[in-house]
């Protein structure tokens, strides 16, 4: 076979370093502390540091947190945890940037606005430096302005105030504590460097609210101005702080005691830039706020502004022009699908490299949330356990490297990272980002409803009605007119994802929809495999399309009919994917294909895992089990996803949807508890599969919505959610139902040894319910 490789450009080297960071917020809400190190498990998993070192990272923002070391009393610290971790970092050759307070308010014996905060924090900083005199870089207080706003102005975190004076005191206390802490640290280690971090956003507004935007755009510099001794009486923020109750001598102290950062750390998120609009009727109530003059909505600028965001490059350039101090991006994280996370990190990296080439002293980009983070969707105000994966995914027995890990290995060598998915702009630069009308326009551009494009089926359908541009290619053998079709439609697109599906296959169509939503270029290949697609034809196709990976969703799904037509079943379910695997092996292409829970006979009394031995009951199950063997023999790097019972929000002909429609029409439906199984909600399955494919995962993986059900229980639960009459669901023994030619396993629950990365069964059913109700409303 001929070999097909993706084009490999020579990577461009740069002097920008790649740092790492572990999300370590230890904040207080009322009298409860939320510790991200505990949530992530890093508190008890020192081996994470070895995984981080394997990425080539040699500088790591790392917690030495006051609340953790001295929670009860400043005089009785417990250094055991930090001793062990910092010693391991030394052994691994990783320099820590020690963080002493990360969105915290301090232990219970103080808080941000308390008179004793500065003195106690300074004492703690000296204790750290005396115990670890070799540490050369510190971030005493992470994002003091952001923490002061969340704690003193918005009331999210302790002490839960919404007062200008409390905000100001909290900010000044943190900045003063930083200056005195660095003085104390430098008495021990004169060479110690201050890496001061802040979320440097920007605010835009309607003309009416320009005064508020101007205030916030000046306020964003406050922590840096205070540390640099640049907040003088001629500055607007001087008068603002005086107006809320701060005394002039308190501000003069900072002018007399400057402590400019050795490196200004800019933390940048997709939500950092804001837009203010007095036309609150266009925005949900949770965005509403205001001042003593006007009520307005405060929303993400990315959702409104047609010109897009300023972005990290422009914001860092503004910081450079204002201070002329060395810069670094000290947090770069996005909660989204894998390719969007890659695009976000790549944007940060390219911005830093570009500025460096222009002469701006940019030192590094920090891959933040290496282990992901928890509950930032509610600003860590309630423990809901919602996880955002990072460079490693913790939804596995051990932290699993994602595609971001390969990016970082490249960046740590000073090289640029190449991947076809990075040739597409991130969602924050595509039309999908729009949600609200700019400046109160009456028309809402199409877009999604969350900080990342959601996986909602309704949003997908709305998007695809206007944006679907699928190209279909039919392949049935040597005589197929492939050249003509490809010359006309495919030659303009390089390195797409090739989706090989059966004619009108629901799973293949779902992948196409997901790719549209996620900005993944693709081609949909509709198979009519009657006489066997020959390898030469397939190679010709791949040479022309030049895909970066192949997804095979083609499958013979007539389970009972397969008993009478085993040759056709094995051709499509076994021989075709085996040939495809061989071609992918020769062409160095990743392959994703699907198997089934029906490879098991149901005689087990415990859930089946990836290593469970297949023992099918039917021709269909046998064709899938045999396919698994042949595929992995032909190409050990293939990814095979075993799935449960499928359901989706788009297909009216699906058995589950048809049953609900029958009940909705007031008709009786007979069901059974005879079989216990797992469920795979197609939108969740597709997105999780794509993430695994992009991550380079291989082998067999079980993807189901966690939980188990029966046909009757599934139907009853959905009917209850929909408010339908569950009395119309009649429970009968299995033999009274539709006769199957072959038996289905009585028990085919899929568990996983590799990790659960899909939402729960209940969560999937709730989203399906929303789609079902929307469909009923449309029909009425």
CATH topology match: 17-270+309-414 vs 457-779: no
Topology annotation, domain 457-779: Rossmann fold (3.40.50)
Rounded distance, CA 79 to CA 84, Å? 9
Closest listed residue to residue 373, CA positions, set 364, 363, 383: 383
Contacts of 695 (CB under 8 A, 6+ apart): 338, 393, 400, 401, 402, 403
For residues 425-436, one letter each, b for 16 or more C-beta atoms within 10 angstroms of the residue's C-beta and e for the rest, the string is: ebbbbeebbbbb
Rounded distance, CA 398 to CA 42, Å? 11
DSSP bridge partners of 203:
274
Contacts of 481 (CB under 8 A, 6+ apart): none
Residue 741 tokens read as 């030619």
DSSP bridge partners of 194:
138
- Angle between the N-to-C axes of helices 655-664 and 711-722, in degrees from 0 to 180, rounded to the nearest 10: 50
pLDDT at 528: 64
N residues, the chain: 780
DSSP bridge partners of 274:
203, 300
Going 721 to 724 to 725 to 730, the CA torsion angle's sign is negative
Query: C-alpha angle 662/665/669, rounded to 5°?
Result: 35
Residue 242 tokens read as 């005086």
On whether the CB atoms of residues 370 and 52 are closer than 8 A, the answer is yes
Long-range contacts of 217-220 (CB under 8 A, 24+ apart): 219/145, 220/145
DSSP bridge partners of 59:
95
pLDDT at 734: 62
pLDDT at 498: 93
Q: Is 700 helix (H, G, I), strand (E, B) or coil?
A: strand
Query: C-alpha angle 150/152/153, rounded to 5°?
Result: 70
Neighbours of 543 (CB within 10 A): 12
Beta pairing, strands 295-300 & 273-277: antiparallel
pLDDT at 770: 86
On whether the CB atoms of residues 698 and 756 are closer than 8 A, the answer is no
**Strand ranges for 291-421 from DSSP E:** 295-300, 327-332, 362-367, 373-374, 387-388, 392-393, 400-401
**Strand ranges for 356-456 from DSSP E:** 362-367, 373-374, 387-388, 392-393, 400-401
Q: How far apart are the first and last CA of the chain?
A: 57
Rounded distance, CA 405 to CA 392, Å? 7
Q: What is the mean pLDDT of each run of 10 residues along the chain (780 residues)?
A: 42 81 97 97 98 97 98 96 98 98 97 97 98 98 98 96 97 98 98 97 95 96 98 96 97 98 96 95 92 94 90 95 98 95 96 95 96 95 94 96 96 89 94 76 32 36 31 33 31 76 79 94 74 69 90 90 92 93 93 96 92 94 96 96 90 79 89 90 96 97 93 90 89 64 86 94 90 72
On whether the CB atoms of residues 581 and 630 are closer than 8 A, the answer is yes
On whether the CB atoms of residues 571 and 531 are closer than 8 A, the answer is no
DSSP bridge partners of 19:
366
Q: Is 432 helix (H, G, I), strand (E, B) or coil?
A: helix
DSSP bridge partners of 209:
none
On whether the CB atoms of residues 508 and 451 are closer than 8 A, the answer is no
Q: Is 699 helix (H, G, I), strand (E, B) or coil?
A: strand
Where in the chain are the domains? 17-270+309-414, 277-307+423-445, 457-779
**Strand ranges for 580-638 from DSSP E:** 591-596
Residue 267 tokens read as 């933390």
Calculate the alpha carbon distances from 112 to 100, 106, 639, 775 in Å.
14, 7, 51, 51
pLDDT at 502: 62
pTM score: 0.90
Topology annotation, domain 17-270+309-414: TIM Barrel (3.20.20)
């Amino acid at each position: 076979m001929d070999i097909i490789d993706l084009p490999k450009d020579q990577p461009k080297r740069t002097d920008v370093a790649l740092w790492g960071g572990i999300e370590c917020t230890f904040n207080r809400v009322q009298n409860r502390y939320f510790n991200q190190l505990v949530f992530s498990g890093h508190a008890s998993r020192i081996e994470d540091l070895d995984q981080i070192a394997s990425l080539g990272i040699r500088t790591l923002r790392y917690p030495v947190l006051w609340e953790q070391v001295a929670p009860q009393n400043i005089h009785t610290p417990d250094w055991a945890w930090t001793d062990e971790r910092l010693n391991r970092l030394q052994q691994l050759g990783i320099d820590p940037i020690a963080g002493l307070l990360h969105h915290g308010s301090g232990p219970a014996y103080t808080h941000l606005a308390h008179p004793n905060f500065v003195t106690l924090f300074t004492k703690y900083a000296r204790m750290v430096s005396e115990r670890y005199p070799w540490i050369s870089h510190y971030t005493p207080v992470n994002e003091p302005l952001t923490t002061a706003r969340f704690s003193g102005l918005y009331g999210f975190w302790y002490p839960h105030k919404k007062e200008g004076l409390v905000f100001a005191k909290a900010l000044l206390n943190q900045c003063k504590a930083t200056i005195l802490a660095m003085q104390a640290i430098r008495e021990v280690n004169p060479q110690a460097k201050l890496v001061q971090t802040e979320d440097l956003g920007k605010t835009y507004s309607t003309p009416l609210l320009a005064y508020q935007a101007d205030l916030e755009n000046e306020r964003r510099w406050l922590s840096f101005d205070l540390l640099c001794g640049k907040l003088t009486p001629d500055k607007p923020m001087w008068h603002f702080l005086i107006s809320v109750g701060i005394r002039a001598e308190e501000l003069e102290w900072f002018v007399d005691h400057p402590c400019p950062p050795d490196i200004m750390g800019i933390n940048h998120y997709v939500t950092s830039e804001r837009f203010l609009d007095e036309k609150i009727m266009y925005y949900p109530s949770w965005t509403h706020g205001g001042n003593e003059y006007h009520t307005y909505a405060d929303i993400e600028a990315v959702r409104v502004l047609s010109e897009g965001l300023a972005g990290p490059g422009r914001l860092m350039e503004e910081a450079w022009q204002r201070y002329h101090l060395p810069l670094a991006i000290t947090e770069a994280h996005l909660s989204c699908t894998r390719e969007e996370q890659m695009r976000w990190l790549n944007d940060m990296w390219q911005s830093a490299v570009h500025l460096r080439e222009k002469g701006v002293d940019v030192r590094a980009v920090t891959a933040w949330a290496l282990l992901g983070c928890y509950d930032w969707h509610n600003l860590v105000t309630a423990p809901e356990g919602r996880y955002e994966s990072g460079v490693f995914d913790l939804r596995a027995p051990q932290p699993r490297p994602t595609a971001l890990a390969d990016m970082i290995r490249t960046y740590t060598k000073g090289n640029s990272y190449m991947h076809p998915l990075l040739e597409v702009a991130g969602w924050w630069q595509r039309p999908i980002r729009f949600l609200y009308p700019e400046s109160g326009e009456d028309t809402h551009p199409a877009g999604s409803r969350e900080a990342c494009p959601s996986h909602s089926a309704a949003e997908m359908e709305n998007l695809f009605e206007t944006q679907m541009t699928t190209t279909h290619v039919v392949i049935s053998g040597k005589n197929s007119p492939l050249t003509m079709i490809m010359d006309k439609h495919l030659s303009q697109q390089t390195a797409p994802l090739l989706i090989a599906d059966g004619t009108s296959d629901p799973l293949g169509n779902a992948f196409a929809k997901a790719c549209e939503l996620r900005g993944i270029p693709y081609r949909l290949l509709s198979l009519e495999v009657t006489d066997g697609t020959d390898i030469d034809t397939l190679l010709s196709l791949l040479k022309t399309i030049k895909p970066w990976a192949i997804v095979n969703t083609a499958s013979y799904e007539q389970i009972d009919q397969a008993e009478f037509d085993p040759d056709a079943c094995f051709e499509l379910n076994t021989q075709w994917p085996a040939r495809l695997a061989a071609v992918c092996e020769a062409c160095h292409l990743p392959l994703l294909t699907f198997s089934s829970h029906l490879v098991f006979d149901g005689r087990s009394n415990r859930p089946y895992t990836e290593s469970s031995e297949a023992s099918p009951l039917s021709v269909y199950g046998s064709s899938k089990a045999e396919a698994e063997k042949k595929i992995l023999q032909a190409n050990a790097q293939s990814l095979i996803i075993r799935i449960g019972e499928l359901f989706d929000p788009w297909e009216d002909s699906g058995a589950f949807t048809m049953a609900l429609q029958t009940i909705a029409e007031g008709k009786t439906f007979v069901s059974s508890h005879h079989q216990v199984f797992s469920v795979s909600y197609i939108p969740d399955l597709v997105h999780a599969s794509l993430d695994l494919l992009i991550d380079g995962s291989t082998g067999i993986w079980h993807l189901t919505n966690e939980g188990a059900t029966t046909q009757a229980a599934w139907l009853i639960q959905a009917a209850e959610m929909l408010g339908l009459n569950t009395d119309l669901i009649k429970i009968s023994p299995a033999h009274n139902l539709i006769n199957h030619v072959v038996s289905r396993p009585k028990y085919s629950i899929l568990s996983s040894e590799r990790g659960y990365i899909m939402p729960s069964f209940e969560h999937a059913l709730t989203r399906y319910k929303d789609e079902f109700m929307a469909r009923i409303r449309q029909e009425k």
